[in-house]
Amino acid sequence: MDIVYSVLPPQFLSQVLVGLSRTTILFIVASGLSLILGVLRIPNVAHGSLYMIGAFVSYSIAKLFGGGPSSYWWALLITPFVIALISFVVERGVFQFLYEREHLMLLLLTFAFSLVFGDLVKLIWGVEYKSVPVPGAFQGFVPLFGGIPFPLYNLFLLCVGPVVALILWFIVNKTKIGKISRAAAVDREMVGAVGINVSWVFATVFVIGCLLAGLGGVLVAPTVSVTLGMDHTLIIEAFLIVIIGGLGNIWGALLGALIFGLSQSLGILLWPKFGIVIPYLAVVVVLLIKPTGLLKSTW
C-alpha cells in the first residue's frame, strides 16, 4: 500500500472519491436535463428548481416520518414520485402546447417557471436553512486511504451512481419507450406517422427527466444545507455538463459530470484558493477542442 501512496498520496485518492460522489449527483441531474433537451428539445431552466424542490420535499417527508435516522429512506422512496407528479401536471398543463415554439421562447418560459417555483418554495418552506438527516446505516465516517476519514454516506452515493446509470441505459436501449424516444429525438413527425402518439411519449420522457432532477435533490439533501438558491448553482453546472458531453447524449452527461466533479474536487486539493474556477476552465478547454461536445449530440 505504501508504494501506491508514494505515487498517489492518500489525500489525492480521498479527494477522487469526494469528486466521484459529487459526480453522482451531477450525473443524475444532468442526465435528466439532457434527456429532455435531446428528445423534447426543451432547454429546461426549471430543471434546477425541481432539484431544489426535491431537496425540500425530502425534508418535509423525513419530518413527517419522525425525522429519525430511518426517516430518510421514506423521503428517498416518495420524493421522486412527488416531483414526477408536479412535472406531469406542468407538462400536460402547459408544455405540451408549446413544443413547436422556438427555443428562445421555451428558454424564457422555463426561466419564468424557475422563478415561480423559487417563490413557491419560499412561500411553503420559508427562507431558513433546512437539514435532512443522514440515514442511520450511513452516519459517521470510515477510515480510508492511510486513515483519512471518509463520510460513509458518500460511499452510498458512489454505489447509487452506477445503479442509476445502468437503469437509464436499460430504459433507453432495451425498452420500447426508450427506442421510441430515440427515434422521436431525430424525427418526431415520422414517429407519429407510424402510429405512435408522440405527445404521450414526450410526457413520459419529460416526467422521467424531472424525476431524475428530484432524485438528485433527495440524494444531495443530507450532505448540504437545503436552501433557496441551490437551484441556480446547479442548473448552470448541469447545462455546462450537458454541453461539454454532447446535447441529448446520456453518456455525454456522465462524461461531463466526471470531468466537472473530479476537476472540482482535485482543483481544491491542488490549488485551494482558485479550486472553484478549475471546472469552468475544464469546460473552456473542452469547448475549444470540441465545440459540439465530446460525444455525439442528437441535435
Binding residues (CB under 8 A) for other proteins: these are 176, 179-180, 182-183, 185-187, 189-198, 298
Of 197 and 225, the one with the shorter C-beta distance to other proteins is 197
Beta carbons within 8 Å of 158's beta carbon, 6+ residues apart: 17, 20, 21, 24
Distance of CA 18 to the CA centre of its chain: 16
Of 26 and 185, the one with the shorter C-beta distance to other proteins is 185
Of 75 and 168, the one with the shorter C-beta distance to other proteins is 168
Residue 77 to residue 97: CA distance in whole angstroms: 31
SS3 248: coil
Of 85 and 196, the one with the shorter C-beta distance to other proteins is 196
Of 195 and 272, the one with the shorter C-beta distance to other proteins is 195
Minimum gap (Å) between residue 89 Cβ and other proteins: 23
Q: How far is CA 200 from CA 93, 206, 235, in A?
A: 13, 10, 26
Of 100 and 189, the one with the shorter C-beta distance to other proteins is 189
Minimum gap (Å) between residue 176 Cβ and other proteins: 6
Q: How far is CA 203 from CA 40, 85, 93, 162, 215, in A?
A: 9, 11, 11, 26, 18
- Is the four-CA dihedral 277, 278, 284, 288 of positive or negative sign? positive
Minimum gap (Å) between residue 243 Cβ and other proteins: 20
Cβ-count burial of 183 within 10 angstroms (0-12 exposed, 13-18 middle, 19+ buried)?
A: middle
- One-letter amino acid of 251: W
For the chain, what is the largest distance between any 2 Cα atoms, rounded to a whole number of angstroms?
A: 64
Of 186 and 284, the one with the shorter C-beta distance to other proteins is 186
Of 48 and 248, the one with the shorter C-beta distance to other proteins is 248
Residue with cell 470531468: 259
- Is the four-CA dihedral 137, 138, 140, 143 of positive or negative sign? positive
Q: Smallest Cα–Cα separation from 141: which of 130, 149, 131?
A: 149
SS3 151: strand
Residue 71 to residue 83: CA distance in whole angstroms: 18
Phi/psi at 132 (nearest 5 deg)?
Answer: -110, 130
